[in-house]
Amino acid sequence: MTDTEVYKAAIDKFGERYQTDKAIEEMGELIQALIKYRQHGNNKYNVDEEMADVEITLEELKIIHKNKKAVARWKKKKIDRLHAILEDQEGLK
């Protein structure tokens, strides 16, 4: 089974609403892990684990919302904008 097939099977089994709620939960857990890591500087593995969970649930959200291409376009625009900002700041040095 491919990753995409697993994501689709999870959506079919648990439902779109549940998987959306799961994505929200995982994002909250990542926020908590990052805060703890920043404050205490330990348990990086928890950050890694929560990042993986968020990546998985984001892929499920792309399937649920049928917007993988739109997300890719937005991501490209935002990376291009960041690149332009970085180039501009390089010129200021």
Largest CA distance in the chain: 54
pTM reported for the whole predicted model: 0.87
pLDDT at 68 over 60: yes
pLDDT at 73 over 90: yes
Hey, CA dihedral for 83, 53, 28, 21, is it positive or negative? positive
pLDDT by residue (tens digit) across 18-65? 999 999 999 999 999 999 999 998 778 899 999 999 999 999 999 999
Q: How many CA atoms lie within 13 A of 91 on its CB side?
A: 6
Look at phi and psi of residue 42 and say left if phi exceeds 0, alpha if psi is from -120 to 50, else beta: beta
